[in-house]
Amino acid sequence: MPDKYHIKTQPIPPRRPRIGKIGVVDWREDCANCHNCVKKACVFDRYREEMSYIRGLREMDAVFFQCMGCFSCVQQCTKGLLALSANPVYERLGNTYWTPQIIETTWAQAESAKIPVSGAGYRGRFSGLGFDSMWTDMSEIVRPTRDGIHGREYISTAVDIGRKPALLHFDAGNPAGGLPPLVDIPMPMIIDMLPRGYRLPNLLPVIKIVAAQTGVIAIIDSKDWQLAGNDLDQYLPNLAIYLDASAPLPGRELLTGMRLVEISDDGNAERRVRELKQINPGIVVAVRVEMDSGGIERAVEYARQPFVEVLHLVADDNGNEIGEKNPRFIKDMVRSVHNSLVESGLRNEVTLMAGGGIALAEHMAKQILCGADLVTINLPLLIALECTLCRDCNDGQSCPALIGEIDIKYGVGRMTNLIAAWHDQLIEVMGAMGIREVRRLRGEVGRALFFEDLEEATFGKLFGSRKNN
Ligand code: SF4
Ligand code: SF4
Protein backbone atom coordinates (compact mmCIF):
# COMPACT_ATOMS: atom_id res chain seq x y z
CA MET A 1 0.00 0.00 0.00
CA PRO A 2 1.43 3.44 -0.86
CA ASP A 3 2.38 5.79 1.98
CA LYS A 4 -0.26 8.20 3.21
CA TYR A 5 0.11 11.67 1.78
CA HIS A 6 1.89 13.78 4.36
CA ILE A 7 3.66 17.11 4.02
CA LYS A 8 6.66 17.64 6.30
CA THR A 9 6.61 21.04 8.00
CA GLN A 10 8.54 23.03 10.56
CA PRO A 11 7.82 26.39 12.22
CA ILE A 12 9.22 29.32 10.22
CA PRO A 13 8.92 32.61 12.15
CA PRO A 14 8.36 35.90 10.31
CA ARG A 15 11.33 38.07 9.35
CA ARG A 16 9.46 41.32 9.93
CA PRO A 17 7.72 42.67 13.05
CA ARG A 18 4.28 41.08 13.34
CA ILE A 19 1.30 43.23 12.38
CA GLY A 20 -1.35 42.30 14.92
CA LYS A 21 -4.86 43.62 15.34
CA ILE A 22 -4.94 44.94 18.90
CA GLY A 23 -2.48 46.55 21.29
CA VAL A 24 -2.70 47.68 24.90
CA VAL A 25 -2.42 51.33 25.87
CA ASP A 26 -0.96 51.60 29.35
CA TRP A 27 -1.42 55.03 31.05
CA ARG A 28 1.29 54.56 33.63
CA GLU A 29 0.69 57.81 35.53
CA ASP A 30 -1.18 57.20 38.74
CA CYS A 31 -0.21 53.51 38.82
CA ALA A 32 -0.69 52.11 42.33
CA ASN A 33 2.02 49.48 41.79
CA CYS A 34 -0.31 46.73 43.00
CA HIS A 35 1.47 43.66 44.26
CA ASN A 36 -0.89 41.45 42.22
CA CYS A 37 -0.85 43.60 39.05
CA VAL A 38 -3.27 42.36 36.39
CA LYS A 39 -0.48 42.49 33.82
CA LYS A 40 1.14 39.47 35.46
CA ALA A 41 -2.11 37.56 35.06
CA CYS A 42 -2.33 37.86 31.26
CA VAL A 43 -2.81 34.23 30.22
CA PHE A 44 -1.04 34.97 26.94
CA ASP A 45 1.90 36.57 28.77
CA ARG A 46 1.72 39.57 26.46
CA TYR A 47 3.22 42.14 28.85
CA ARG A 48 6.40 40.11 29.35
CA GLU A 49 6.60 39.48 25.60
CA GLU A 50 6.19 43.19 24.95
CA MET A 51 9.10 44.04 27.26
CA SER A 52 11.41 41.60 25.51
CA TYR A 53 10.11 42.83 22.14
CA ILE A 54 10.97 46.42 23.04
CA ARG A 55 14.46 45.41 24.18
CA GLY A 56 15.19 43.84 20.76
CA LEU A 57 13.44 46.54 18.73
CA ARG A 58 15.16 47.50 15.49
CA GLU A 59 12.42 49.56 13.87
CA MET A 60 11.05 52.44 15.88
CA ASP A 61 7.63 52.46 14.20
CA ALA A 62 6.96 48.76 14.86
CA VAL A 63 4.66 48.92 17.90
CA PHE A 64 3.76 45.67 19.68
CA PHE A 65 0.21 44.76 18.64
CA GLN A 66 -0.15 41.17 19.82
CA CYS A 67 -2.90 41.41 22.43
CA MET A 68 -5.61 38.76 22.09
CA GLY A 69 -8.33 41.16 23.17
CA CYS A 70 -9.70 39.18 26.11
CA PHE A 71 -10.21 42.43 28.10
CA SER A 72 -9.18 40.70 31.32
CA CYS A 73 -6.46 43.22 32.25
CA VAL A 74 -8.55 46.18 31.08
CA GLN A 75 -11.51 45.24 33.26
CA GLN A 76 -9.52 44.29 36.34
CA CYS A 77 -6.95 47.08 36.65
CA THR A 78 -7.91 48.77 39.98
CA LYS A 79 -7.07 52.23 38.63
CA GLY A 80 -8.55 51.72 35.15
CA LEU A 81 -5.23 52.62 33.52
CA LEU A 82 -5.34 50.07 30.69
CA ALA A 83 -7.16 50.32 27.36
CA LEU A 84 -7.10 48.40 24.09
CA SER A 85 -6.42 50.05 20.78
CA ALA A 86 -6.93 48.82 17.21
CA ASN A 87 -3.86 48.81 14.99
CA PRO A 88 -4.39 51.18 12.02
CA VAL A 89 -1.67 49.36 10.05
CA TYR A 90 -3.58 46.08 10.44
CA GLU A 91 -6.77 47.68 9.18
CA ARG A 92 -5.01 48.86 6.03
CA LEU A 93 -3.81 45.35 5.08
CA GLY A 94 -5.06 43.91 1.80
CA ASN A 95 -8.29 45.15 0.28
CA THR A 96 -12.02 44.54 0.51
CA TYR A 97 -11.69 40.93 -0.71
CA TRP A 98 -8.29 40.00 0.75
CA THR A 99 -9.23 41.28 4.18
CA PRO A 100 -6.85 41.84 7.11
CA GLN A 101 -8.31 38.69 8.73
CA ILE A 102 -7.47 36.59 5.66
CA ILE A 103 -3.94 37.98 5.54
CA GLU A 104 -3.39 37.48 9.27
CA THR A 105 -4.65 33.90 9.25
CA THR A 106 -2.51 33.11 6.19
CA TRP A 107 0.58 34.44 7.99
CA ALA A 108 -0.21 32.30 11.03
CA GLN A 109 -0.60 29.15 8.93
CA ALA A 110 2.59 29.88 6.98
CA GLU A 111 4.45 30.22 10.28
CA SER A 112 3.12 27.21 12.14
CA ALA A 113 1.46 24.92 9.50
CA LYS A 114 -1.39 24.60 11.97
CA ILE A 115 -5.12 24.89 11.38
CA PRO A 116 -6.28 28.34 12.56
CA VAL A 117 -8.51 28.22 15.63
CA SER A 118 -10.56 31.28 16.49
CA GLY A 119 -11.57 30.00 19.93
CA ALA A 120 -14.68 30.89 21.95
CA GLY A 121 -16.89 30.50 18.90
CA TYR A 122 -17.12 32.49 15.71
CA ARG A 123 -18.27 36.06 16.36
CA GLY A 124 -18.30 37.32 12.81
CA ARG A 125 -21.02 37.69 10.25
CA PHE A 126 -22.82 34.58 9.13
CA SER A 127 -23.24 35.44 5.50
CA GLY A 128 -21.74 37.76 2.95
CA LEU A 129 -20.64 37.93 -0.63
CA GLY A 130 -18.73 35.35 -2.65
CA PHE A 131 -17.81 32.18 -0.78
CA ASP A 132 -19.41 33.63 2.36
CA SER A 133 -22.87 33.08 0.90
CA MET A 134 -22.39 29.33 1.13
CA TRP A 135 -21.99 26.94 4.03
CA THR A 136 -20.85 23.35 4.22
CA ASP A 137 -23.02 20.78 5.96
CA MET A 138 -20.94 19.46 8.87
CA SER A 139 -23.64 17.22 10.28
CA GLU A 140 -21.42 14.15 10.01
CA ILE A 141 -18.94 15.52 12.54
CA VAL A 142 -19.12 12.37 14.63
CA ARG A 143 -17.25 9.11 14.69
CA PRO A 144 -16.26 7.33 12.47
CA THR A 145 -15.49 10.27 10.19
CA ARG A 146 -13.36 11.87 12.91
CA ASP A 147 -11.07 8.88 12.49
CA GLY A 148 -9.95 10.30 9.16
CA ILE A 149 -9.00 13.59 10.78
CA HIS A 150 -6.90 11.85 13.38
CA GLY A 151 -5.24 9.59 10.82
CA ARG A 152 -6.84 6.30 11.87
CA GLU A 153 -8.71 6.14 8.59
CA TYR A 154 -7.54 7.49 5.25
CA ILE A 155 -9.34 10.43 3.64
CA SER A 156 -8.04 10.73 0.11
CA THR A 157 -7.38 14.16 -1.37
CA ALA A 158 -5.86 12.81 -4.61
CA VAL A 159 -7.27 13.90 -7.96
CA ASP A 160 -6.75 12.85 -11.58
CA ILE A 161 -6.28 15.52 -14.22
CA GLY A 162 -7.11 14.69 -17.83
CA ARG A 163 -9.85 13.40 -20.09
CA LYS A 164 -11.68 10.26 -19.07
CA PRO A 165 -13.46 8.15 -21.67
CA ALA A 166 -17.24 7.91 -21.32
CA LEU A 167 -17.15 4.21 -22.29
CA LEU A 168 -14.43 1.61 -22.38
CA HIS A 169 -14.09 -0.67 -25.43
CA PHE A 170 -11.97 -3.76 -25.02
CA ASP A 171 -9.94 -5.57 -27.59
CA ALA A 172 -8.47 -8.92 -26.50
CA GLY A 173 -8.83 -7.92 -22.85
CA ASN A 174 -7.20 -4.51 -23.21
CA PRO A 175 -8.82 -1.10 -23.70
CA ALA A 176 -9.04 -0.56 -27.48
CA GLY A 177 -6.86 2.35 -28.57
CA GLY A 178 -5.33 2.64 -25.08
CA LEU A 179 -6.41 5.06 -22.39
CA PRO A 180 -5.93 8.83 -22.48
CA PRO A 181 -3.11 10.16 -20.26
CA LEU A 182 -3.94 11.20 -16.71
CA VAL A 183 -1.91 13.21 -14.21
CA ASP A 184 -2.50 12.34 -10.59
CA ILE A 185 -1.61 14.73 -7.80
CA PRO A 186 -2.10 14.12 -4.07
CA MET A 187 -4.04 17.29 -3.38
CA PRO A 188 -6.68 19.18 -5.42
CA MET A 189 -4.46 22.21 -5.82
CA ILE A 190 -2.23 23.66 -8.51
CA ILE A 191 0.04 26.67 -8.07
CA ASP A 192 -0.90 29.21 -10.71
CA MET A 193 1.21 32.03 -12.11
CA LEU A 194 1.22 35.13 -9.95
CA PRO A 195 -0.80 38.01 -11.41
CA ARG A 196 1.39 40.18 -13.67
CA GLY A 197 1.81 43.01 -11.17
CA TYR A 198 3.21 40.66 -8.52
CA ARG A 199 5.59 38.52 -10.57
CA LEU A 200 8.72 38.76 -8.48
CA PRO A 201 11.60 37.06 -10.27
CA ASN A 202 13.15 35.50 -7.18
CA LEU A 203 10.01 33.50 -6.37
CA LEU A 204 10.10 30.97 -9.22
CA PRO A 205 13.06 28.98 -7.83
CA VAL A 206 11.16 28.82 -4.53
CA ILE A 207 7.85 27.82 -6.12
CA LYS A 208 9.37 24.95 -8.13
CA ILE A 209 10.80 23.40 -4.92
CA VAL A 210 7.48 23.86 -3.09
CA ALA A 211 5.65 22.08 -5.92
CA ALA A 212 8.09 19.17 -5.80
CA GLN A 213 7.99 18.90 -1.99
CA THR A 214 4.22 18.93 -1.77
CA GLY A 215 3.62 16.82 -4.90
CA VAL A 216 1.46 19.43 -6.63
CA ILE A 217 2.17 21.17 -9.94
CA ALA A 218 3.22 24.79 -10.51
CA ILE A 219 2.33 26.60 -13.74
CA ILE A 220 5.12 28.84 -15.06
CA ASP A 221 4.70 31.27 -17.95
CA SER A 222 7.01 30.34 -20.83
CA LYS A 223 8.21 33.97 -20.80
CA ASP A 224 9.45 33.54 -17.22
CA TRP A 225 10.82 30.02 -17.69
CA GLN A 226 14.48 31.10 -17.62
CA LEU A 227 13.95 32.78 -14.23
CA ALA A 228 13.11 29.45 -12.56
CA GLY A 229 16.79 28.33 -12.47
CA ASN A 230 19.22 26.10 -14.35
CA ASP A 231 18.31 22.87 -12.59
CA LEU A 232 14.78 22.45 -13.92
CA ASP A 233 15.18 18.89 -15.21
CA GLN A 234 14.61 17.31 -11.80
CA TYR A 235 11.50 19.46 -11.22
CA LEU A 236 9.78 18.95 -14.59
CA PRO A 237 7.15 16.41 -13.34
CA ASN A 238 5.93 19.11 -10.95
CA LEU A 239 6.00 21.97 -13.44
CA ALA A 240 3.63 22.94 -16.24
CA ILE A 241 4.59 25.51 -18.85
CA TYR A 242 2.00 28.09 -19.92
CA LEU A 243 1.99 28.99 -23.61
CA ASP A 244 0.12 32.11 -24.64
CA ALA A 245 -0.91 32.76 -28.23
CA SER A 246 2.51 34.10 -29.22
CA ALA A 247 4.68 31.52 -27.40
CA PRO A 248 6.62 29.07 -29.61
CA LEU A 249 6.41 25.34 -28.95
CA PRO A 250 8.86 24.31 -26.21
CA GLY A 251 11.70 21.89 -26.96
CA ARG A 252 11.21 18.12 -26.97
CA GLU A 253 13.34 17.60 -23.80
CA LEU A 254 11.10 19.95 -21.87
CA LEU A 255 7.81 18.49 -23.07
CA THR A 256 8.83 14.89 -22.56
CA GLY A 257 9.77 15.61 -18.94
CA MET A 258 6.52 17.39 -18.06
CA ARG A 259 3.10 15.87 -17.37
CA LEU A 260 0.93 18.95 -17.86
CA VAL A 261 1.05 21.96 -20.16
CA GLU A 262 -1.38 24.88 -20.37
CA ILE A 263 -2.33 26.86 -23.47
CA SER A 264 -4.34 30.03 -23.92
CA ASP A 265 -7.90 30.10 -25.22
CA ASP A 266 -6.97 31.87 -28.47
CA GLY A 267 -8.92 30.07 -31.19
CA ASN A 268 -5.98 27.82 -32.13
CA ALA A 269 -6.35 25.38 -29.27
CA GLU A 270 -7.01 22.32 -31.44
CA ARG A 271 -3.92 22.86 -33.59
CA ARG A 272 -1.74 23.53 -30.55
CA VAL A 273 -2.97 20.43 -28.73
CA ARG A 274 -2.19 18.34 -31.82
CA GLU A 275 1.34 19.78 -32.06
CA LEU A 276 2.03 19.21 -28.37
CA LYS A 277 0.69 15.64 -28.50
CA GLN A 278 2.88 14.90 -31.51
CA ILE A 279 5.92 15.66 -29.40
CA ASN A 280 4.67 13.97 -26.23
CA PRO A 281 1.47 11.87 -26.57
CA GLY A 282 1.53 11.27 -22.81
CA ILE A 283 1.23 14.93 -21.87
CA VAL A 284 -2.08 16.40 -20.63
CA VAL A 285 -3.03 19.79 -22.10
CA ALA A 286 -5.16 22.29 -20.20
CA VAL A 287 -6.91 25.20 -21.92
CA ARG A 288 -6.95 28.40 -19.86
CA VAL A 289 -10.34 30.09 -20.21
CA GLU A 290 -10.61 33.59 -18.77
CA MET A 291 -13.99 34.04 -17.09
CA ASP A 292 -15.13 37.19 -18.86
CA SER A 293 -18.66 37.83 -20.13
CA GLY A 294 -18.43 34.96 -22.65
CA GLY A 295 -16.30 32.67 -20.47
CA ILE A 296 -19.03 30.23 -19.44
CA GLU A 297 -20.23 29.69 -23.02
CA ARG A 298 -16.67 29.24 -24.31
CA ALA A 299 -15.90 26.74 -21.55
CA VAL A 300 -19.02 24.68 -22.29
CA GLU A 301 -18.25 24.76 -26.01
CA TYR A 302 -14.65 23.65 -25.40
CA ALA A 303 -15.83 20.75 -23.25
CA ARG A 304 -17.79 19.41 -26.23
CA GLN A 305 -14.60 19.15 -28.29
CA PRO A 306 -12.95 15.73 -28.04
CA PHE A 307 -9.43 17.24 -28.07
CA VAL A 308 -10.05 19.12 -24.80
CA GLU A 309 -8.89 17.32 -21.67
CA VAL A 310 -8.75 20.00 -18.99
CA LEU A 311 -10.32 23.44 -18.69
CA HIS A 312 -8.76 26.00 -16.38
CA LEU A 313 -11.45 28.57 -15.53
CA VAL A 314 -9.82 31.75 -14.27
CA ALA A 315 -11.57 34.73 -12.69
CA ASP A 316 -9.80 37.90 -11.53
CA ASP A 317 -7.78 38.09 -8.30
CA ASN A 318 -10.94 38.66 -6.27
CA GLY A 319 -12.85 35.80 -7.91
CA ASN A 320 -14.96 38.12 -10.05
CA GLU A 321 -15.98 37.87 -13.67
CA ILE A 322 -13.34 39.73 -15.68
CA GLY A 323 -14.19 43.17 -17.09
CA GLU A 324 -17.81 43.30 -15.87
CA LYS A 325 -19.42 46.10 -13.85
CA ASN A 326 -21.76 43.71 -12.06
CA PRO A 327 -19.61 40.60 -12.10
CA ARG A 328 -20.63 37.07 -11.27
CA PHE A 329 -18.51 35.26 -8.71
CA ILE A 330 -16.23 32.34 -9.60
CA LYS A 331 -18.20 29.79 -7.56
CA ASP A 332 -21.39 30.66 -9.44
CA MET A 333 -19.66 30.63 -12.83
CA VAL A 334 -18.05 27.25 -12.17
CA ARG A 335 -21.41 25.91 -10.98
CA SER A 336 -23.00 27.04 -14.27
CA VAL A 337 -20.32 25.30 -16.33
CA HIS A 338 -20.53 22.18 -14.17
CA ASN A 339 -24.33 22.01 -14.39
CA SER A 340 -24.30 22.51 -18.17
CA LEU A 341 -21.83 19.66 -18.55
CA VAL A 342 -23.86 17.42 -16.23
CA GLU A 343 -26.99 18.12 -18.30
CA SER A 344 -25.22 17.27 -21.53
CA GLY A 345 -23.66 14.13 -20.08
CA LEU A 346 -20.10 15.40 -20.55
CA ARG A 347 -19.10 16.27 -17.01
CA ASN A 348 -17.06 13.16 -16.25
CA GLU A 349 -15.05 13.46 -19.43
CA VAL A 350 -13.24 16.73 -18.74
CA THR A 351 -11.38 18.04 -15.72
CA LEU A 352 -12.29 21.50 -14.42
CA MET A 353 -9.67 23.54 -12.58
CA ALA A 354 -10.88 26.84 -11.08
CA GLY A 355 -8.79 29.81 -10.00
CA GLY A 356 -9.19 33.39 -8.85
CA GLY A 357 -10.38 34.42 -5.40
CA ILE A 358 -9.30 31.21 -3.62
CA ALA A 359 -8.03 32.86 -0.45
CA LEU A 360 -8.72 30.33 2.31
CA ALA A 361 -8.72 26.55 2.66
CA GLU A 362 -12.51 26.60 2.98
CA HIS A 363 -12.72 28.25 -0.45
CA MET A 364 -10.96 25.21 -1.91
CA ALA A 365 -13.62 22.88 -0.46
CA LYS A 366 -16.47 25.20 -1.48
CA GLN A 367 -15.18 25.58 -5.02
CA ILE A 368 -14.99 21.81 -5.39
CA LEU A 369 -18.53 21.49 -4.01
CA CYS A 370 -19.60 23.91 -6.76
CA GLY A 371 -18.23 21.61 -9.43
CA ALA A 372 -14.47 22.10 -9.84
CA ASP A 373 -12.22 19.04 -9.69
CA LEU A 374 -9.42 21.11 -8.23
CA VAL A 375 -8.42 24.72 -7.61
CA THR A 376 -5.49 26.90 -8.54
CA ILE A 377 -3.97 29.40 -6.12
CA ASN A 378 -1.33 32.12 -6.31
CA LEU A 379 -1.73 35.12 -3.98
CA PRO A 380 -2.01 33.06 -0.75
CA LEU A 381 1.54 31.80 -1.39
CA LEU A 382 2.78 35.37 -1.79
CA ILE A 383 0.98 36.39 1.41
CA ALA A 384 2.70 33.46 3.13
CA LEU A 385 5.96 35.41 2.63
CA GLU A 386 4.54 38.31 4.68
CA CYS A 387 3.27 40.22 1.65
CA THR A 388 0.56 42.72 2.65
CA LEU A 389 -0.89 43.05 -0.89
CA CYS A 390 0.04 46.73 -0.81
CA ARG A 391 0.78 46.52 -4.58
CA ASP A 392 3.81 48.80 -4.26
CA CYS A 393 5.76 46.32 -6.42
CA ASN A 394 3.14 46.77 -9.11
CA ASP A 395 3.93 50.48 -9.14
CA GLY A 396 7.69 49.86 -9.27
CA GLN A 397 8.27 50.88 -5.64
CA SER A 398 10.33 49.00 -3.08
CA CYS A 399 8.60 46.14 -1.27
CA PRO A 400 7.91 46.87 2.43
CA ALA A 401 7.90 43.12 3.11
CA LEU A 402 11.38 42.79 1.54
CA ILE A 403 10.23 39.84 -0.57
CA GLY A 404 13.17 40.40 -2.91
CA GLU A 405 15.52 39.46 -0.06
CA ILE A 406 14.01 36.16 1.10
CA ASP A 407 16.19 33.08 1.21
CA ILE A 408 15.11 29.77 -0.32
CA LYS A 409 14.71 27.96 3.01
CA TYR A 410 12.39 30.61 4.42
CA GLY A 411 10.32 30.86 1.22
CA VAL A 412 9.97 27.11 0.71
CA GLY A 413 9.21 26.55 4.40
CA ARG A 414 6.48 29.20 4.64
CA MET A 415 4.74 28.17 1.40
CA THR A 416 4.95 24.47 2.30
CA ASN A 417 3.51 25.17 5.75
CA LEU A 418 0.56 26.99 4.21
CA ILE A 419 -0.20 24.16 1.78
CA ALA A 420 0.04 21.61 4.61
CA ALA A 421 -2.37 23.65 6.76
CA TRP A 422 -4.82 23.85 3.85
CA HIS A 423 -4.55 20.09 3.30
CA ASP A 424 -5.34 19.45 6.96
CA GLN A 425 -8.34 21.77 6.77
CA LEU A 426 -9.63 20.05 3.65
CA ILE A 427 -9.48 16.73 5.50
CA GLU A 428 -11.22 18.35 8.46
CA VAL A 429 -14.07 19.67 6.29
CA MET A 430 -14.43 16.42 4.35
CA GLY A 431 -14.41 14.38 7.56
CA ALA A 432 -17.13 16.58 9.01
CA MET A 433 -19.17 16.13 5.83
CA GLY A 434 -18.71 12.36 5.89
CA ILE A 435 -16.86 12.30 2.57
CA ARG A 436 -13.74 10.18 2.35
CA GLU A 437 -12.58 11.05 -1.17
CA VAL A 438 -12.18 14.50 -2.64
CA ARG A 439 -13.28 13.16 -6.03
CA ARG A 440 -16.69 12.55 -4.46
CA LEU A 441 -16.82 16.08 -3.07
CA ARG A 442 -17.02 17.48 -6.60
CA GLY A 443 -20.45 18.99 -7.27
CA GLU A 444 -21.86 17.42 -4.10
CA VAL A 445 -24.17 20.38 -3.44
CA GLY A 446 -26.35 18.18 -1.23
CA ARG A 447 -23.62 18.84 1.34
CA ALA A 448 -23.82 22.62 0.91
CA LEU A 449 -26.29 25.35 1.74
CA PHE A 450 -26.60 28.50 -0.34
CA PHE A 451 -27.79 31.80 1.10
CA GLU A 452 -29.88 32.62 -1.99
CA ASP A 453 -31.75 29.29 -1.77
CA LEU A 454 -32.38 29.59 1.95
CA GLU A 455 -33.53 33.18 1.65
CA GLU A 456 -35.90 32.29 -1.17
CA ALA A 457 -37.31 29.29 0.71
CA THR A 458 -37.74 31.27 3.94
CA PHE A 459 -38.83 34.73 2.83
CA GLY A 460 -39.67 34.30 -0.86
CA LYS A 461 -43.30 33.37 -0.17
CA LEU A 462 -43.77 36.40 2.04
CA PHE A 463 -41.82 39.10 0.25
CA GLY A 464 -41.23 37.72 -3.25
CA SER A 465 -37.89 36.94 -4.87
CA ARG A 466 -34.88 39.18 -4.40
CA LYS A 467 -34.15 41.30 -7.44
CA ASN A 468 -30.69 40.84 -8.88
CA ASN A 469 -29.20 44.21 -9.70
S1 SF4 B 1 -6.49 42.12 27.04
FE2 SF4 B 1 -6.08 39.98 27.61
S3 SF4 B 1 -4.58 39.27 26.09
FE4 SF4 B 1 -4.59 41.48 25.98
S5 SF4 B 1 -2.93 42.06 27.34
FE6 SF4 B 1 -4.83 42.15 28.57
S7 SF4 B 1 -4.96 40.15 29.55
FE8 SF4 B 1 -3.43 39.96 27.88
S1 SF4 C 1 4.28 43.54 0.16
FE2 SF4 C 1 3.54 44.96 -1.40
S3 SF4 C 1 5.36 45.41 -2.64
FE4 SF4 C 1 5.83 43.54 -1.46
S5 SF4 C 1 5.25 41.84 -2.82
FE6 SF4 C 1 3.49 42.28 -1.53
S7 SF4 C 1 2.27 43.68 -2.77
FE8 SF4 C 1 4.31 43.68 -3.66
Task: Tell whether 407 and 266 lie within a shared domain.
Answer: yes
Is 93 among the domain residues?
no
CB 398 within 8 A of CB 194: no
DSSP conformational letter for 248: P
154 exposure class (CB count in 10 Å sphere: 0-12, 13-18, 19+): middle
- CA of 197, closest atom in ligand 2: 8
Is 382 among the domain residues?
yes
Predicted pLDDT of residue 321? 95
Write the CATH number for 255.
Answer: 3.20.20.70
Instruction: Tell me what the pLDDT averaged over the chain comes to.
Output: 89
% the chain with pLDDT above 70? 94
At which of 38, 64, 86 does a domain end?
86
Closest residue by Cα to atom 2, ligand 1, is: 70
Predicted pLDDT of residue 232? 85
Distances (CA, A) of 117 to 120, 121, 259, 410: 9, 9, 37, 24
Task: Tell whether 151 and 34 lie within a shared domain.
Answer: no
CA distance 311 to 293: 17
Decide: helix, strand or coil at residue 183.
strand
Task: Tell whether 66 and 212 lie within a shared domain.
Answer: no
Residue 8 Cβ contacting ligand 2 at under 6 Å: no
Predicted pLDDT of residue 118? 67
End-to-end CA distance of the chain: 54
Task: Tell whether 249 and 325 lie within a shared domain.
Answer: yes
The total domain count for the chain is 2
Task: Tell whether 173 and 269 lie within a shared domain.
Answer: yes
Task: Tell whether 153 and 79 lie within a shared domain.
Answer: no
Tell me the CA–centroid distance for residue 50 and ligand 1, in Å: 11
Closest residue by Cα to atom 5, ligand 2, is: 387
As for ligand 1, residues whose beta carbon falls within 6 Å of it are 24, 42, 44, 46, 67-74
Tell me the CA–centroid distance for residue 352 and ligand 2, in Å: 30
Is 311 among the domain residues?
yes
Task: Tell whether 165 and 309 lie within a shared domain.
Answer: yes
CA distance 43 to 64: 17
Is 70 among the domain residues?
yes
29 or 369, greater pLDDT? 369
Task: Tell whether 299 and 406 lie within a shared domain.
Answer: yes
Task: Tell whether 184 and 49 lie within a shared domain.
Answer: no
Task: Tell whether 77 and 151 lie within a shared domain.
Answer: no
Residue 389 Cβ contacting ligand 2 at under 6 Å: yes
Closest residue by Cα to atom 6, ligand 2, is: 387
Distances (CA, A) of 213 to 14, 218, 304: 21, 11, 35
Query: What is the mean pLDDT of the segment spanning 157-167?
Result: 91
At which of 62, 86, 110 does a domain end?
86
Of the candidates 243, 240, 252, which has an alpha carbon nearest to the alpha carbon of residue 208?
Answer: 240
* Domain that includes residue 29, residue range: 22-86
Is 118 among the domain residues?
no
CA distance 374 to 159: 8
Is 217 among the domain residues?
yes
pLDDT tens column, 387-424:
999 988 887 788 888 898 899 999 999 999 999 999 99
Per-residue confidence band for 68, with pLDDT thresholds at 50, 70 and 90: confident
Task: Tell whether 328 and 436 lie within a shared domain.
Answer: yes
**CA within 13 Å, CB half, 248:** 4
Predicted pLDDT of residue 11? 96
Tell me the CA–centroid distance for residue 211 and ligand 2, in Å: 22
Tell me the CA–centroid distance for residue 38 and ligand 1, in Å: 9
Query: What is the mean pLDDT of the segment spanning 29-56?
Result: 86
